Amino acid sequence: MVSFARNEAAMIPIAEYKLLKSLDDMKERKEIFPTVQARKNIPSEYYISYEDALKQAGYSGIGV
């Protein structure tokens, strides 16, 4: 692991890193789960395409 803010690094076994990464991924999924569930109840007619979202945000063309 590297901390760019303080230029520090720590070496840990790969197995430990994988465990920590797995726990972090599970925590993230748990945090976003309520949002995902709430969005399931939004009717599809309220969604807009990616291209329309870009237009509404003032972006157009290639290389946005």
Query: Helix H segments across the chain?
Result: 14-40, 50-56
Per-residue pLDDT of 1-39, as tens digits, reads 555 667 788 899 999 999 999 999 999 999 999 999 998
Structure tokens at 35: 């949002």
Say what the pLDDT of residue 19 is: 97
Q: Report the alpha-carbon distance of residue 1 to residue 11 in Å, rounded.
A: 6
Q: Which has more pLDDT, 64 or 33? A: 33
**For residue 54, is pLDDT > 70?**
yes
Say what the pLDDT of residue 63 is: 59
